[in-house]
Amino acid sequence: MDMKESPLLALENATVHYPSSPSPALDGVDVALHSGERVCLTGDNGSGKTTLLLALIGLRPLRSGRLLHHGRTVADTRALFTLRKEAGIVFQHAEDQLFSPTVLEDVAFGPLNIGLTPPAARQRALEILESLGVAVLAERMTHTLSGGQKRMVALATALAMRPRLLILDEPTNDLDAKGRAVLEDYLPRSGLTLLVVSHDERFLDALTTRRIHLMEGRITGGSKGL
């Protein structure tokens, strides 16, 4: 197989079950994400969007089917680790991923963890906060931020790891028009491969290049990218 042609991430015939639920949350899903694409994932509440995001980065185990990273099955912890280095995620509830006392410490945490020196990590964190227009928040206590500010900071923590792929679950929730405009400007210019779950049609139109639609755990519309 020509590895250049392989999608960055793909699921093949993927099925996910939650123990407490009789019907599958994902039911035989085939989907592929190629480098440079900006894909949106739509569907009703409970249709499986978040489950699909989690399955794509190996955070939700498959009952059957395969997860592929650059065309190779993600079959062990090492493969999962390599995948996670490339893929950042910002959860629907942004505060779930903020845990340091200050904004700057939170954004610098990942870079420090992968071995940057404290000054280099601080510099990287400041640059990212600056590029998202929220450098003024750097010294703020994280728990005092507004919902929209928390969302921007959570995005900064993901970007600080310099992922190739960014997965965003309802990124415009709590954002005002200015925050939304920053994302609409920054994300396409970043060159990142994007997978975005959103009900915000205007935002999706401005940002994404392809659409996938889920219904009751199955892909029923858009293009699977296969």
Ligand X SMILES: Nc1ncnc2c1ncn2[C@@H]1O[C@H](COP(=O)(O)OP(=O)(O)OP(=O)(O)O)[C@@H](O)[C@H]1O
Chain residues that interact with ligand X, rule: CB under 6 A: 18, 20-21, 25, 43, 45-51
Q: How far is the CB of 103 from ligand X (least distance, A)?
A: 26
Is the CB of 18 or the CB of 99 nearer to ligand X?
18
Close Cβ partners of 194 (under 8 Å, ≥ 6 residues apart): 37, 38, 39, 165, 166, 167, 168, 187, 207, 208
Smallest distance from ligand X to CB 113, Å? 27
For the bound state, the minimum distance from the C-beta of residue 5 to ligand X, rounded and expressed in Å, comes to: 30
CB-nearer residue toward ligand X: 43 or 163: 43
Q: How many helices (H) and strands (E) in the chain?
A: 7, 10
Return the structure tokens found at 205: 């139109």
The smaller minimum CB distance to ligand X, of residues 50 and 190, is found at 50
Residue linked to tokens 């845990």: 99
Question: Closer CB to ligand X, residue 92 or residue 123?
Answer: 92
In angstroms, what is the minimal distance from the CB of 49 to ligand X? 3
CA distance 174 to 198: 12
